[in-house]
């Protein structure tokens, strides 16, 4: 038998956080624990029925059984463009400024391959979605962490990045509403991002996957709403969280046509596009009446209120999120983040996510996901109160 050796890029990968969490979950279930899983952000609410029915009809059409177009059906890209106009009052050319993705994770994972040469620097938020740094590693780039601290409202402080580093930066990832901290960003922040990008010739990639999960009618901004944004960047979006379609794997990137074109060149050489029946169903999703989405948001808001009030009453320290379906909670003084996650799992049967898994700046926090019913969240709070 030959000797199998992994490539260095794979050897250097940290263990994928959510795979490790899933292993902990399966071990707990095997022990017979009544597990309350508040770890991974996978919506438990079914995809709205009218979207499912659209898929059932579309999948029977023979024209969808062949290879799809690489960049996505024009009708899908037009639906994305129309949605952005309605939601954000942003104009997009569906032919050149919209690209279909096999979920936004795929696009985020591939974008460094289009623009990063070995040794190039990429600004990555910490804590942040692990794919930002892993994708940079695959492209041979170097991640430079931007700490997100509570003192700075979980926004990066660009003044702390030296001019020398900024001159080496090729690309920057930002993500608001933020995973895992739930922070949101205002217009002034995006203006600072654009000013920095123009000054140092930095490509901006904004991950907006959670923009439609918001509370108290405080609708998050799109990066593309800000003047000058199209000169420097693109925005990634997904149907996963908005329409409870995580398993469907469809999203899109929009914005600067040259950046979109670069990402498209990578995709044409790596994948063959999104199954067109899914694109047809996604068109129906993008035209969904907002009353359906309001029901989804109200469900998450009730869960947020229940978990926030319960954890505060116990004595844990956290901010009340305005968006996303996560709560970012400080761990008690005698624990680190992984230790506290293990303690909650072992003693209470409640599974959460350690902050350190999102980067070193996430140490001292754990993340709760609002992906269980109010009754189960109440039970989780009760169990945690008994062991703390």
Q: What stretches in the chain show pLDDT beneath 70?
A: none
CA pseudo-torsion sign 234, 240, 245, 249: positive
Instruction: Judge whether 273 and 70 are in contact, CB under 8 Å.
Output: yes
C-alpha span between 55 and 283 (Å, rounded): 10
Pick the CATH number of 8-46+291-387 from 3.90.1150.10, 3.40.630.30, 3.10.20.30, 3.30.1310.10: 3.90.1150.10
C-alpha span between 267 and 290 (Å, rounded): 32
Question: Judging by DSSP bridges, how do beta strands 350-351 and 326-330 pair with one another?
Answer: unpaired
49-286 — its CATH code?
Answer: 3.40.640.10
**Selection from 112, 102, 115, 100 nearest residue 137 by Cα:** 112
Instruction: Judge whether 18 and 40 are in contact, CB under 8 Å.
Output: yes
Give the SS3 label for residue 255.
strand
CA torsion angle for 161, 222, 153, 16 (degrees, to 10)? -70
C-alpha span between 230 and 208 (Å, rounded): 15
Locate the domains of the chain by residue range: 8-46+291-387, 49-286
Angular region, 97: left φ>0, alpha ψ -120 to 50, beta rest: alpha
Q: In the chain, what is the straight-line distance between the N-terminal and C-terminal CA atoms, in Å?
A: 53
**Selection from 199, 252, 258, 255 nearest residue 226 by Cα:** 255
Report phi then psi at 109, rounded to 5. -65, -25
Tokens coding 239 = 């149907």
pLDDT in tens, 48-86: 999 999 999 999 999 999 999 889 999 999 999 999 999
Question: Judging by DSSP bridges, how do beta strands 251-255 and 233-238 pair with one another?
Answer: antiparallel
C-alpha span between 351 and 310 (Å, rounded): 16
The pTM (predicted TM-score) of the whole model is 0.96
pLDDT for residue 23: 84
CA torsion angle for 5, 9, 11, 12 (degrees, to 10)? 160
C-alpha span between 353 and 21 (Å, rounded): 7
C-alpha span between 167 and 317 (Å, rounded): 38
Q: Count CA atoms within 13 Å of residue 168 on its CB side.
A: 14
pLDDT for residue 360: 94
């Amino acid at each position: 038998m030959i000797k199998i050796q992994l490539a260095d890029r794979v050897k250097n990968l940290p263990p994928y956080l959510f795979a490790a969490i899933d292993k902990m979950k399966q071990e707990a279930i095997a022990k017979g624990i009544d597990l309350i899983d508040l770890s991974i952000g996978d919506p438990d609410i079914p995809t709205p029925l009218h979207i499912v029915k659209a898929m059932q009809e579309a999948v029977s059409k023979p024209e969808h059984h062949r290879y799809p177009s690489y960049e996505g059906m024009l009708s899908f890209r037009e639906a994305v463009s129309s949605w952005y106009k309605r939601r954000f009052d942003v104009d997009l050319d569906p032919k050149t400024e919209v690209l279909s993705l096999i979920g936004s994770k795929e696009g985020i994972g591939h974008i460094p391959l289009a623009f990063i040469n070995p040794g190039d620097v990429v600004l990555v938020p910490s804590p942040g979605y692990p794919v930002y740094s892993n994708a940079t590693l695959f492209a041979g780039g170097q991640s430079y962490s931007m700490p997100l601290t509570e003192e700075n409202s979980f926004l990066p402080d660009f003044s702390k990045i030296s001019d020398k580093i900024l001159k080496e930066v090729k690309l920057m990832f930002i993500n608001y509403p933020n995973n895992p901290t739930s922070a949101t960003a205002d217009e002034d922040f995006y203006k600072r991002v654009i000013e920095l990008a123009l000054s140092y010739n930095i490509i901006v990639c904004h991950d907006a996957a959670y923009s439609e999960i918001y509370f108290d009618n405080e609708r998050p901004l799109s990066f593309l709403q800000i003047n000058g944004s199209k000169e420097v960047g693109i925005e990634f979006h997904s149907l996963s969280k908005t329409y409870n379609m995580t398993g469907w794997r469809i999203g899109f990137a929009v914005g600067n046509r040259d950046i979109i074109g670069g990402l498209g060149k990578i995709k044409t050489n790596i994948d063959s596009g999104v199954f067109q029946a899914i694109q047809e169903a996604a068109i129906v999703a993008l035209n969904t009446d907002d009353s359906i989405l309001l029901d989804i948001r109200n469900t998450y808001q009730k869960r947020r209120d229940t978990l926030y009030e319960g954890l505060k009453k116990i004595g844990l320290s956290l901010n009340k999120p305005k968006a996303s379906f996560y709560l970012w909670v400080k761990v008690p003084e005698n624990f680190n983040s992984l230790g506290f996650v293990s303690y909650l799992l072992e003693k209470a049967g409640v599974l959460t996510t350690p902050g350190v898994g999102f980067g070193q700046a996430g140490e001292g926090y754990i993340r709760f996901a609002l992906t269980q019913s109010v009754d189960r969240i109440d039970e989780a709070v009760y169990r945690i109160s008994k062991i703390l």
